[in-house]
Structure 1
Amino acid sequence: MSSLIDQYLEERGVNNWTPGQPLLPYVLARRDAVAACLRDMERRGGDGSPESRQLKRAATEGRAYLSKIDERIAELEEIETRNDATAKHNVEIRAHEGRGYVTDAAVYNDPHKVPDSPSFFRDMRSARLGDADAADRLRRNTAARGLETRVGDMSTGAGTGGQFAPPAWLVDEFVALARAGRVTADLMHKEPLPSGVSSINLPTVASGTSTAVQATQNTVVQDTAATTNAVSSGITTVAGKQIVSLQLLQQSGIPFDRVVLGDLSADYARTLDVQVLTGSGASGQLRGLANAAGITTVAYTTATPKVIDATTPANSLYNAIVRGVNSVATQRFMPPTAIVMHPQRWSWILEALDSSSRPLVLSQGGAFNPLGVAGEVVAQGQAGVLLGLPVYVDPNIPTNLGAGTNQDAVWVLRADDCNLYESPLALESFEATYADQASVLFRALSYSAFIPDRYGKSLALISGTGLVTPTL
């Protein structure tokens, strides 16, 4: 950002945020200061002088910065809105253990004496559903009497008052099902799936032309005819549905369609990632990396696997990864772009120590000749660097490979060479045909195609007995 704007903000005391200071008011004040500074620059920047040109450049930077501030304000206001809604839904009235609850007669009266008196327990339920008036009455009642009661023999136990202390269900804070994401799928070269087609086909040059030295003048030069082929993918449909009763949708404390469609969307991401990794290409599946044509397989076979073994390189996973990198570089003639492995394999690498009990892969920071560098701890996504390549961990990599069904695999690949075509994920609801049973069908659906072997030698699969389930 321009030093002129920095100076302007510094003069108005809005250039540094202090921890503990409310963030939204600070950002709003900063925005007002930047806007005022821009107006001042525009007034002063119209005479064509060098100072005027400098002001115009600073104003251009300031407008871009102002746009970023507006985005941040929108985020903070959305967070405050969610927090306010949560606070409203979380109005909760509890009885102290060993005490009865006495309501304030000014708010809640005996219904036999005052028929129009509001109901304390109805207000408890209505407040949870967002009724501001009910929440206000509960607050006034609590403020008037607090939880001041005389000690009695009632409690929250069943039969001694517990039926009047209902449990709080914070449905707006529901716990979604944990699912693996689409780490490997998102590394691929992505394109929108063309509409109106039944397959994707790419022509390839199978064997090329050639050149040679002309032995003598006026003799025929080298003539080699190129041959062509094609790689293709069918269109795969990934979809799921859930039928939900109308009663649940209408009586739920939150929009229940958000729960259903959110879970369907999350599982779609997992399913697509599995297809990209291991799809068979049969029975409607995509043809995944494991079934791509012409890939390089690097055998890592040993009964004593180690992350690195200077004495016996065959025991070393590091050496196998080097061979995978070499195979891509020497056969694709382009470098790989990523290493992909299961999170447990990366944890095994992180756990490894050298002869002086120092970790081979270090957390971020300087060290002498580290094997690799680990970023912050992640369960899926980029986790660190090996051989100068980013390491991605993907929980969808199978761990039941090999004869003993106890092996995983490591991929070294040039992801840009693999084309993933995908239509937008359609999240829809349908009431037709379910009206007679008062139900709604929710559906997630998307079409995709995947060509992993535009260049088969872009993929190196490391597998073998050295990749048995590690002990952590």
Structure 2
Amino acid sequence: MTLAELIAQARTALDTAIATRTQEQDALVALRSDENLTEDAVRAQVSARDAADAEVTRRQQALDELLAEEAREAEIAALQARNTPAAHRAPAYDQVARVGAEERTYRPDQDRRGAAFERDVAAAFLGDYEARDRLSRHMAEERVERGDQLQRAAGTGAFAGLVVPQYLTDLYAPAAAAKRPFADAIRRHDLPAQGMTVNLSRITTSSSVDNQSAENAAVAEQDMDDTLLTFSVQTAAGQQTLSRQAVERGAGVEAIVLDDLFRRYATNLDSKLLNQAATGLSAVATAVAYTDATPTVAELYPKVLEGLSGVEAALLDLASGDNLAVMHSRRWYWMQNAMGTTWPLISQPGIAAQLSGTNLGTTYGSGVRGTLPNGTPVIVDNNIATNLGAGTNEDEIYLVDRNECHLWEDPSAPMYIRAEQAKAANLGILMVVYGYYAYTHSRLPHARKIGGTGLITPTFTGV
């Protein structure tokens, strides 16, 4: 395994450790907002968070060591390139020893067009050490025979056709993606190994209990009944056909394309959870209307509490209290722009009364971004549509119980197919990324969504 591959592996391990640490911190924040929390539970969660912290530190140190080693290797290579005799004037004919049988590295009689030299320049750029050695020998030969000419002050602009461009492939700019903030925040399960549908039983007619009308009189009885909830296993997939030349002659092309396919896969899955017709969160959530020609954060917040009240009323004793507010980034920043002189009459756990919530200072897609004044964690997700309503300029805010939004995913998803035979006649390589998943927000219908003219494109006026 090369040093570059080890660094890539270390980066992946660090990303995983950071994601685990974020999950533990989110769990700690949620736990502290629980009215029934115990000191032992908090202590255990803090211990889990600290362990995840230690793992992040360990992974970071391992990555730093590899990066330091890479930097040192680059320094050594640069030192080796500089550590050659300085150019000097060629000595007089009778002051130098000559070997009659010694031949030049690149000979005009063998390579009149200089193709071998050009190939070595390209190969050296791609890391071919033997090509670099041949070029170094060539430069030493040039210093001996034409040192006086090499000392002339001609810049790279004089040799535009000979100066090889350097492409910073490690700093390529990928296409931005919304990815999967909501999908990573909800309750996840392993998808069963077989079948294309998932069935759940829901008790829709409960039993009955009432006071007995008289001694020995019949007691209340109600036959229980269930309804089968069936939802489909869906297949998300994308493909890209690359020329063999792009893969074999390019620098990191295959890895860049694969990374982009993975990003599109994550974005598609999350978008379907939110926006898919009939089953997406927007389709199944009960609407809470916020109609206002001049919306303000102070007027919106009571609608948030109305929605959370509806979530709890729907779930009753099955409510976990682990609620989420899911909104677009434009709405999150709009809520932060408000200034005011009043605050809630009832303080909330961990939230100062004078504040309108807290911003945890995390980046997009890294989990909980902050909390609302009543302690509800906020997930920012830019897969939320912003073209809703009659004016096609509204977004929505979703209020859910995290534990009643279910996502089943194949543990190996997304999977990768690299097929060469299918496009062999065209010298093409087919790359396919795919995965299976299923989801439901309707096991216990409860979700609420705030929508209406009060959620048009925000203006940042401080109210």
In structure 2, the CA distance between the partners of 1:367 and 1:194, relative to structure 1 (3 Å rule), is closer
How high is the sequence identity, in percent, across the aligned residues?
Answer: 30
In structure 2, the residue matched to 1:264 is 261
Q: How does 1:117-128 map to 2 (within 5 A)?
A: 124-128=121-125
CA-to-partner distance for each residue in 1:60-108, whole Å, 9 max, x for gaps?
Answer: xxxx9999886555333443456568779999x9xxxxxxxx97799xx
**Superposed CA RMSD:** 3.7
1: CA distance between counterparts of 2:396 and 2:55?
45
Range with greater deviation from structure 2 (77-86 or 126-135): 77-86
**Given residue 290 of structure 1, which amino acid in structure 2 is its aligned partner?**
S
Alignment partner of 1:207 is 2:193: no
User: Per-residue CA shift, 1:110-145, capped at 9, x if unaligned?
Assistant: xxx952269886665333312346567889979x99
Question: Which letter does structure 2 place at the counterpart of 1:418?
Answer: C
Structure 1 residue 172: Cα displacement: 3.6
Compute the displacement of 1:307 (Å).
Answer: 0.2
Q: CA contact under 8 A between 2:237 and 2:435: conserved in structure 1?
A: yes
CA shift in 2, pair 1:88/1:129, >3 Å = farther
Check 1:87–1:345 CA distance in 2 against 1; reply closer, same or farther (3 A cut).
farther
Distance 1:222 1:171, change over 3 A: same
How far apart are 1:251 and its partner, in Å? 1.0
Pair 133,297 (structure 1): closer, same or farther in 2 beyond 3 Å: same
Separation in 2, partners of 1:347, 1:68 = 29
1:230 Cα shift? 1.7
Q: What is the correspondence of 1:215-364 to structure 2 with a 5 Å cutoff?
A: 215-254=213-252, 256-281=253-278, 287-292=279-284, 295-308=285-298, 316-333=299-316, 334=319, 335-355=321-341
In the alignment, which residue of structure 2 is the partner of 1:99?
none
Shift in CA distance, 227/270, structure 1 to aligned 2, threshold 3 Å: same
Q: Residue 268 of structure 1: SS of its match in structure 2?
A: helix
Q: 1:343 to 1:105 in 2, by over 3 A?
A: farther
Aligned to 1:438, which of 427, 434, 449?
Answer: 427
Q: Which runs of 5+ in 1 are unaligned?
A: 1-63, 94-101, 107-112, 282-286, 309-315, 359-364
- Between 1 and 2, higher relative CO (CA 8 Å, sep ≥ 6) is seen in 2
- Matched letter for residue 288 of structure 1: G
Q: List gaps (5 residues or longer) in structure 2.
A: 1-51, 91-101, 108-115, 344-349
Q: Give how far 1:177 is off.
A: 1.5
Q: Which moved more, 1:414-423 or 1:268-277?
A: 414-423
Correspondence for 1:467: 455
SS of alignment partner, residue 368 of structure 2: strand
Q: Which amino acid aligns with 1:351?
A: N
**Matched AA of 2:435:** S
| Correspondence list, 1:42-61, <5 A | none
Q: Does 1:405 align with 2:403?
A: no
- CA, structure 1 residues 436+105, in 2 after alignment: closer, same or farther (shift >3 Å)? farther
SS of the counterpart of 1:317? helix
Q: Distance in 2 between matches of 1:291 and 1:105?
A: 82
CA 435–408 in structure 1, closer or farther in 2 if over 3 Å, else same: same
Deviation for aligned residue 1:455: 0.9
1:451-462 → structure 2 map (5 Å cutoff): 451-457=440-446, 459-462=447-450
Give the TM-score normalised by the residue count of structure 1. 0.69
Task: Look up the equivalent residue of 2:459 and give its one-letter code.
Answer: T
| Partner Cα distance (1:172, 1:81) in 2 | 17
Please state whether the residue corresponding to 1:206 is helix, strand or coil. Answer: strand
Q: What is the rounded CA distance, in whole Å, between the counterparts of 2:333 and 2:357 in structure 1?
A: 13
Count of residue pairs brought into register by the alignment = 365
Amino acid at match of 1:338: L
Contact preservation (8 Å) 1:425, 1:444: yes
Change (3 A) 1:252 1:197: same
- DSSP 3-state at the match of 2:432: strand
CA-CA distance at 1:453 after TM superposition: 0.5
| Counterpart amino acid of residue 333 in structure 2 | S
2:220 counterpart of 1:184? no
Q: Equivalent residue for 2:382?
A: 395
User: CA 1:220/1:406 → structure 2, altered by over 3 Å: closer, same or farther?
Assistant: same
Q: Which moved more, 1:372-381 or 1:71-80?
A: 71-80
- Residues 340 and 412, structure 1, Cα contact 8 Å, conserved in 2: yes
Q: Any conservation in 1 of the 2:394–2:457 contact (CA below 8 Å)?
A: yes
CA distance in 1, matches of 2:277, 2:334: 29
Letter in 1 for 2:454: G
Per mean C-alpha deviation after superposition, the further-off stretch among 299-308 and 123-132 is: 123-132
1:233–1:449: 8 Å Cα contact kept in structure 2? yes
Is the alpha carbon distance of 1:470 and 1:155 closer, same or farther for their aligned partners in structure 2, counting shifts above 3 Å?
A: same
User: Distance in 2 between the 1:209 and 1:445 partners?
Assistant: 44
